[in-house]
Structure 1
Amino acid sequence: MQYEENEFLSHTSHSGSEIAEWNIDGLAEYQIYNRLLEMGMSITTYKIKNLSDKQAATLITTEFTGTLKNWWDNYLTEDNRKKVVNDTTIIPIIKTESRGQTIENQILEDATASLIYSIAKHFIGEPQFFQDRSLEILSNLSCPKLDDFRWYKDAFMKKVMICNDCNHDYYKEKSISGLPILFAEKI
Structure 2
Amino acid sequence: MGGASDPGQRLSWIAAVAGPLALATDPAAARSATDLFVETGGPVGYALVFLFAAIPWFEIFLVIPVGIGLGMNVVGVAVFAFLGNVLSVYAVIAFHDRARAWWARYRRTEPKPRERAGGRVRAVWDRYGLAGLAMSSPMVTGVHLAALIALALGSRKRAVGAWLTASIALWTVILTAVSYYGFGFVAGL
TM-score, normalising length from structure 1?
Answer: 0.29
In terms of fraction of residues, the more helix-rich structure is: 2
In terms of fraction of residues, the more strand-rich structure is: 1
Tell which has more relative contact order, 1 or 2 (C-alpha 8 A, sep 6+).
2
**TM-score between the two structures when normalised by the length of structure 2:** 0.29
